[in-house]
Structure 1
């Protein structure tokens, strides 16, 4: 750039002499091609304008200077802009640093903690607000039938206000105040109050237990055996009305931590089922349980079906755990085996029957009958379940009888010896139920000395080998040894039917008139001989009144 008063360098060339200008003549500017706007003429320094319009050509421009720029205008504008920008930047920097300083010791505007507005407050002021708030604090817990209020002292609410304020400031960035001042700042989450859980739990438990006395607990979906359908089915879950103390305690802890004044309980606070009917575990458990009840066996006694071992028996012995695990409940199966052994063992039990002549009797005791082997039955049942056994099987017994007519029924066949102690008469019935032998008897005496009544019950002939010598004690204490020709014992080898040659008469009331035996059944010698020839070892003997 040349100064305004400097002379331009001389031109060199053919027309150089004609290019020389007057000393004060402004530099020429090549005319622009196209439409331009007029600019005022440049007035040399020191010259005054006369107010007379400058000469112009026909296009409205001053001759040769219409397009000349103002020398030095751009540098001056740049300097002015720089100065302005510097001033603005300086002001902003000062404002920014003032803001940093201010918010280094005060909370942001629009700052709250709990229900308190702490905008522009100092940490000490906020700590004071917190301390005052906790002294007035109380928490009401209500809903679902519960309504209890906990004071700060009852809840044992405690917190370190200075530490809370310090933590809040540690998280704040005062250098970002130009952004933060326009945001809302809820510092409630910074509250970390603690409570005496044991004290609160005791009070809540008391209140909740009182409410729960009249509520229903929830029930998980499960699998149960349907006795009518003889199969396992899913039982849907059941929603209860019982309050869950653990959920309430969690809500209380959260509320106390932020000094909330109220906890409203809703359905979430109720104890909920944890297993639902569409749970795959429940579905799988149902399938597995039903696969374990496929056994179906007729248990036989003397060729008759005594009981059925099927789903109705097995189902109650299948256990479904809380975790939907399926297993065989061996205790339950053992209890079933115990029940069967007790009900179907007839030895010594009371049995009712009708004699061939139509007379009806009930008899108890004796050594004859069915005796179910409980342990063998249990083992058989486990194996049958595992093998899905079907068909027929004999009821495992350690002792069998000749017949089965149901629990409490006659378990001997048509052939047996009937000793009627009331009638003092004995009979032998054959396989067709016909009496092929009978005789009056003298049974054991009812009282006094060594005498005793003939035992009642169902027995069998233990021996029929012929004669024997009977030994015992007389009423006067003396010993006796009495030989008999026909000895047919049925109570061990102590009590039996035998000939009694010393008896001059039989039947009637002789057994109680002093002629009664020591317990045996006395027979006329001829009748004893006949019976000896007709009966066999193992024949049933029924002694009754």
Structure 2
């Protein structure tokens, strides 16, 4: 048997000795595991210039001794690797899957037996690891898989460490903000980032320590009240601490990109007595600077009535001004202007918007509009604004001084003047008798008489409402005609001297008769001269006179009774045989006009209530 054959076979007595083979395989596996698991990074750092012998061009045809020894060593290694591969077949299932993707090797490794070697150690040959890797039978996919697995483990460890460190940092910062405000937190315009509630309270107190308020007023330069003058100081309300408690520490990261602003009440304390004293010491509260307000009023200007507005004045209402100042100080206001609030000053009692003043203006304007024209037959007179305005009273400023009593008196006087001019009751008239005589008669019961009370009331109302009208005055008594001779053309003429009467209707004599009037021998029986009207008429009736139970008492039945002057009237007198003449001088009646019965009947049918009865001597 030659040496070539001995290299590829093992002695028959060595076959089937697993203890030696197993020991070699364990050592090889342990070496490889150590290299792959523990020193992989070191091997990766080693750079070896390695060239594939097959790619190199030999310098000479005969290999030297050293290369021969290397090849022999590689052959021995590969033979040993065959045994190792067969023993680790189950552990490299994963590598086989990767190897399936690579091209199959054309040459099979023959199953050989190791020949028995001498115990003498062979020469130690240095083989570069890269070369060893290339020459080894470890599948390339297995090697890459192990490297990738190792990198993932390292990456996972690094990421775990980062997460743990990040979590610790986040938790630490969250703990830091358990008693501090987040970044971007502002309270009442103060940056409270990373500050405790106490620190924020101190900032608030510091901000208010220099407090002052500027006080402005009408026509007076502004003055300043300093906080130290009224013991002004910050008082905590606990709102800042409540805001901090509502904050969730683990949300601290929101403060890095989100700003929040809060407003809390800045409760302050100060001495109110000192504040009152400061207010009273201001120039606007001094007596010499107080100007009383003036009321609005109605004035007659440019031929019309207008309202002159009130003036504000500068008299300070100390009580109301203090309330306003106190509220401003409590609200931490930097300034206050009393001019912005009417309550701070004494106001005019009458303003231009006052309803009573508006009514007065309307009434005054109506005075100038009012025009009342009175008619008295063919005569007339007019009352208008030119007269009415003179009834109003104005002061030296042209302000209307309204006095209703005075105004009403002017109206009453005007009505009285009308009555004096146009009333005919009680006046003496010139009368042309049928006999041709001119007589003068008067009457207290006949004629025109204005009802002055009623007319005054109506005229006052018309003036205030601006009425423009033409009318008669309100009369309490009227006559048949206007003018001095108000008898007209219809009347009854009773000529007592002639003892004869006439009834004229529209100037036509429709009735006449003799009569007997009152006995002139007795003063109390004489028929009265004057102008009268009929009271009523009655048929029949009983005339009674004198005092009952005395000698002068009488009762006289009549058929036609027509009274016109108290108990005096026209009636029939059937007990007389003669009428007219001078019978009345000594044998006249008790004052009545005695008529023949037939004439009395005619007159009873003709007489009207408003016909004047003119009696004269």
Q: What TM-score results when the alignment is normalised by the length of structure 2?
A: 0.38
Quick check: which one's helix share is greater? 2
Using the size of structure 1 for normalisation, the TM-score is: 0.42
